[in-house]
């Protein structure tokens, strides 16, 4: 790990593994299936066009499920890091980018989260292009509260769609002194390519994961274990506790 004094700006990328111990299934643990569905059938625009009911029910079920889950110590530790780091390193920044579509980072105390793959608790009206917080089902085609058209879809980035806030993420990677990947298999791009970008731009790179991932060879350091244990330990170490 780089000496403390050289680390000012930290970029953290999280994946499904950070929410696994909160009881939210990871993509890989389901053997590439999500709740018995092939990803291509439910997480693509084509799948949605082909069978909108199947896709809406798939997301209704997951949107409901995450509201019964709670953040785990990994989420809380990352919330603590966001609050404490600027006090410890004046001008220092923590940028949290997540591939996850649950709201456990926010409920774990993170105030600024970049959901590059969207969020379960937001819906997008494809008629008037507005987005809003939504906790209920979409299967019954509720009218958009803005334009009253029954054209609401999950505000989730499907395969083949452009991830959100990429400009901000690239800027953060350019300014990063430390890039930390937590709980992701490194299977999905462009997120899986961030470690290479950060490394080429001079950042130190650290992977915190349950097992080696597809990108492990790109990291200066890998620490293996369950996120609820190794993330709080890493944060305490970084905060000099």
Catalytic residues: 117
d(CA 127, CA 112): 28
Looking at the Cβ atoms of 2 and 188, the one nearer to ligand BV8 is 188
Using alpha carbons, select from 154, 190, 199, 200 the residue that is nearest to residue 169.
190
Looking at the Cβ atoms of 9 and 209, the one nearer to ligand BV8 is 209
227 and 182 Cβ atoms separated by less than 8 Å: yes
CB of 175 to ligand BV8, least distance (A): 19
Among all chains, which residue has been given the structure tokens 């890493």? Answer: 234
CB of 148 to ligand BV8, least distance (A): 27
Q: Is 218 left (phi over 0), alpha (psi -120 to 50) or beta?
A: alpha
d(CA 162, CA 160): 7
Of all residues in the shown chain, the one whose CB is closest to ligand BV8 is 17
CB of 214 to ligand BV8, least distance (A): 8
Looking at the Cβ atoms of 54 and 210, the one nearer to ligand BV8 is 210
CB of 138 to ligand BV8, least distance (A): 14
Q: What is the three-class DSSP state of 161?
A: coil
Which residues here bind ligand BV8, judged by CB under 6 A?
15-17, 20-21, 26-28, 43, 99, 101, 117, 156-163, 166, 183-185, 187-191, 209-211, 213, 226-227
Looking at the Cβ atoms of 80 and 120, the one nearer to ligand BV8 is 120
Please list, residue by residue across 33-53, b when 16 or more beta carbons sit within 10 angstroms of its beta carbon and e when fewer do.
ebeebeeebbbbeebbeeeee
With 0-12 CB in 10 A as exposed, 13-18 as middle and 19+ as buried, what is 136? exposed
């Amino acid at each position: 790990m780089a000496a403390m004094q050289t680390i000012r700006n930290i970029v953290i990328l999280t994946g499904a593994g950070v929410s696994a111990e909160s009881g939210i299934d990871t993509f890989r643990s389901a053997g590439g299936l999500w709740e018995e569905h092939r990803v291509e059938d439910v997480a693509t625009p084509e799948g949605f066009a082909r069978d909108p009911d199947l896709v809406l029910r798939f997301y209704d079920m997951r949107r409901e499920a995450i509201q019964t889950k709670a953040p785990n110590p990994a989420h809380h530790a990352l919330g603590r890091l966001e609050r404490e780091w600027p006090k410890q390193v004046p001008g220092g920044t923590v940028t949290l980018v997540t591939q996850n579509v649950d709201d456990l980072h926010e409920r774990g105390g993170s105030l600024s989260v970049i959901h590059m793959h969207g969020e379960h608790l937001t819906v997008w009206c494809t008629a008037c292009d507005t987005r809003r917080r939504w906790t209920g089902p979409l299967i019954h085609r509720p009218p958009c509260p803005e334009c009253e058209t029954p054209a609401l879809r999950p505000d989730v980035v499907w395969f083949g769609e452009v991830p959100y806030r990429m400009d901000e993420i690239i800027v953060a990677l350019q300014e990063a002194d430390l890039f930390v990947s937590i709980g992701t298999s490194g299977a999905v791009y462009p997120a899986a390519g961030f470690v290479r970008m950060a490394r080429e731009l001079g950042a130190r790179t650290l992977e915190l994961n349950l097992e080696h991932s597809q990108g492990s060879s790109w990291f200066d350091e890998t620490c293996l274990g369950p996120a609820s244990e190794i993330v709080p330990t890493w944060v305490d170490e970084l905060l000099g506790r």
